[in-house]
Amino acid sequence: MFYFTIDILGTIAFAISGVLVAMDKKLDLFGVFIIAFVTAVGGGTLRDLLIGNTPVVWMRDSVYAFTILGAVIFAIFFRERLRYLRKSLFLFDTIGIGLYTMVGIEKGLQAELLPIMCIALGTMTASFGGVIRDILCNEIPVIFRKEIYATACIIGGFSYFMIRKLPIIDEYAYIAGIAVVIGIRILAVRYRIALPNIYRNEKNGTS
C-alpha cells in the first residue's frame, strides 16, 4: 500500500505538470488531457516494457486513468491559482521525478535487477514522461539541457541503496531517497548549479 500510494502521488504530480505545460501552449481540452496522460505514464510505460511487465500497469489498473483525469480537472479548475504560483510547474515536476525515481527502483528490485540497473530504471521512469511531454510541446526536453535533472535521480538512487545498509526500515530509506532527489533538484535551481556547457568556448569564438 505504501509503494502504491507513492506511485499515485507521482502520477498526480506529473499529470499536473503536463497540464501546466499544455495550458502554456494553449492546447485544447483534448490536447491538455493527452499531454497530462503521456507525462504521467510515459516513464512507467517504458519501464514496464523494458522489464517485460505487460500489459503495462496503467492498462491493468484503471485507477491510473481516473487519477490522471481527476488531476486534469483539478488543474484546470484551479489554473489561475496555479499560474499565480509562478513556480508551480517546477514544483510538480520536481516532486514527480522524486517519487517516480523510487517507484522505478522498486520495480527493478521486484524484477531482481542489479542496483545499478534499478537506478537506471528509476531514472528512466522519472524522466521519460517529461521527455515525451516536451517533444510533443515542441520544446527541448529538460533532461537534455544543462539543468540538473536526471543527475538528481541518479544521486537519489545511489543514496537509497546506501541508506538501505543502515539499520532502518525500508520505507524510511525510500522516503530519504525521494527527499534526496527533490532536494538536489531544488538546490540546483536555487543556486543555478548546472552541468558543464561544452559549447561555451565555441560561443566565445575560441577553440
Is residue 147 over pLDDT 80?
no
Higher pLDDT, 202 or 134: 134
Residue 51 in domain: yes
Phi, psi of 56 (to 5 degrees): -60, 160
Task: Look over the chain and give the mean of its residue pLDDT values, rounded to a whole number.
Answer: 90
Tens-digit pLDDT profile for residues 162-174: 999 999 998 999 9
Contact (CB, 8 A) for 112 and 159: no
At a CB cut-off of 8 Å and minimum separation 6, what does 28 contact?
Answer: none
Residue 199 in domain: no
Higher pLDDT, 201 or 23: 23
Residue 206 in domain: no
d(CA 64, CA 82): 22
**Mean per-residue pLDDT, 73-94:** 80
Residue 69 in domain: yes
Residue 169 in domain: yes
**Mean per-residue pLDDT, 71-99:** 84
Domain, as residue range, for 125 = 2-194
Higher pLDDT, 207 or 70: 70
Distances (CA, A) of 169 to 105, 160, 164, 165, 172: 16, 12, 8, 10, 6
Is residue 81 over pLDDT 90?
no
Residue 95 in domain: yes
Phi, psi of 152 (to 5 degrees): -65, -40
Higher pLDDT, 144 or 124: 124
Nearest to 18 by CA among 51, 1, 43, 49: 43
DSSP letters for 137-190: TT---GGGSSBSSHHHHHHHHHHHHHHTTSSS-HHHHHHHHHHHHHHHHHHHHH
Is residue 181 over pLDDT 70?
yes
Residue 123 in domain: yes
**Mean per-residue pLDDT, 2-13:** 92
Q: How many domains does the chain have?
A: 1
Residue 58 in domain: yes
Instruction: Express as a percent the part of the chain with pLDDT over 90.
Output: 76
**Mean per-residue pLDDT, 77-100:** 82
Return the pLDDT at 207: 39
**Mean per-residue pLDDT, 61-83:** 90
Radius of gyration (Cα) for the chain, nearest Å? 17
Tens-digit pLDDT profile for residues 104-143: 999 999 999 999 999 999 999 999 999 999 999 999 898 8
**Mean per-residue pLDDT, 144-151:** 83
Return the pLDDT at 164: 94
Tens-digit pLDDT profile for residues 30-47: 999 999 999 999 999 999
Whole-prediction pTM: 0.89
Return the pLDDT at 206: 42
